[in-house]
């Protein structure tokens, strides 16, 4: 009687890899859903885009949408979470010789260089036209400030710098919010990194 060939992957290894595979597939679907939703929002507007539209564009059912997001608003801010993560990583990568304010400025400059101006303007208009998104935008900045303060504090490595990290995070977050408003109001004529430089120069001038 012929012996059955041994499986290439043991049951134990297959069981161990399954959660990781499911997590990756879930993340891929979430990213596909986010991209599809944002494309529709920018093309049609937030209010004109339905959940059915988003589900169809992402090739999932309406019911499956709620496995990933609770609302359309959640999709918008999930998209923006990527920028927050990029900013925090950029702060951590700044040289230890930089002051916290310079580290924040340079990290923000690195992040905004990745922006696509047309998409950023459309996103700003999207939020401007929708009160619910405006309210969530404020929450986003509060979360960003906390995350930035933590990143700056870890980078400094001294307990005595905790207050300074919080203050710099508050200033940097405010600079991003106001800078974004100015940039949008001026029709995005200026390069984002140039506006960051101008904004932080204005901040430093206040304390001279």
For the chain, which residues make up each domain, given as ranges?
Answer: 10-69, 72-208
Residue 141: pLDDT over 70: yes
Residue 94 clears pLDDT 60, i.e. is over it: yes
pLDDT digits (tens, 9 = 90+) for 23-53: 888 888 888 898 898 889 888 888 889 999 9
Quick check: 56 and 116 in contact, CB under 8 A? no
- What is the residue whose two structure tokens read 């929708």? 130
Average pLDDT in the 159-180 region?
A: 88
Domain 10-69, CATH number (from 2.70.98.60, 1.10.287.3240, 3.40.50.720, 1.10.10.60) = 1.10.10.60
Give the number of other Cβ atoms within 10 Å of residue 80's Cβ.
16
Q: Are 181 and 138 in contact (CB under 8 A)?
A: no
Across 14-18, 24-28, 124-128, the highest mean pLDDT is recorded for: 24-28
pLDDT given for residue 203 in this prediction: 94
Alpha helices by DSSP H, 94-191: 100-112, 117-128, 131-156, 162-185
> Any idea what DSSP says for residue 7?
P
pLDDT of residue 21: 79
Q: Give the tens place of pLDDT for each residue, 106-121.
A: 999 998 888 777 777 7
Report the largest interatomic distance among the alpha carbons of the chain, rounded to a whole angstrom. 90
pLDDT surpassing 60 at residue 5: no
Mean pLDDT value across the chain: 83
pLDDT at 8: 43
Tokens of 205: 């001038």
Task: Calculate mean pLDDT across residues 186-201.
Answer: 89
Write the DSSP assignment of 64-99 as a string of letters. Answer: HHTTT-SSHHHHHHHHHHHHHHHHHHHHHHS-TTS-
Please check whether the domain covering 72-208 is classified as CATH 1.10.10.10: no
- Kindly report, residue by residue over 46-56, the tens digit of the pLDDT: 888 999 999 99
Verdict on whether the full-model pTM lies above 0.85: no
């Amino acid at each position: 009687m012929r012996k059955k060939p041994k499986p290439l992957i043991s049951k134990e290894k297959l069981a161990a890899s399954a959660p990781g595979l499911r997590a990756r597939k879930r993340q891929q679907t979430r990213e596909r859903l986010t991209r599809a939703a944002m494309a529709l929002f920018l093309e049609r507007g937030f209010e004109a885009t339905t959940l059915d539209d988003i589900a169809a564009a992402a090739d999932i059912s309406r019911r499956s949408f709620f496995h990933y997001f609770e609302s359309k608003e959640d999709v918008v801010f999930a998209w923006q979470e990527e920028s927050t993560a990029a900013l925090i990583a950029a702060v951590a990568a700044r040289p230890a010789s930089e002051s916290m304010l310079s580290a924040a400025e340079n990290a923000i400059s690195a992040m905004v260089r990745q922006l696509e101006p047309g998409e950023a303007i459309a996103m700003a208009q999207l939020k401007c036209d929708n009160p619910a998104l405006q309210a969530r935008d404020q929450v986003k900045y509060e979360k960003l400030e906390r995350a930035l303060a933590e990143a700056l504090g870890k980078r400094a490595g001294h307990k005595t710098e905790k207050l300074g990290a919080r203050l710099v995070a508050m200033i940097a977050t405010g600079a991003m919010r106001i800078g974004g408003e100015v940039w949008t109001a001026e029709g995005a004529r200026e390069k984002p990194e140039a506006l960051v430089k101008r904004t932080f120069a204005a901040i430093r001038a206040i304390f001279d």
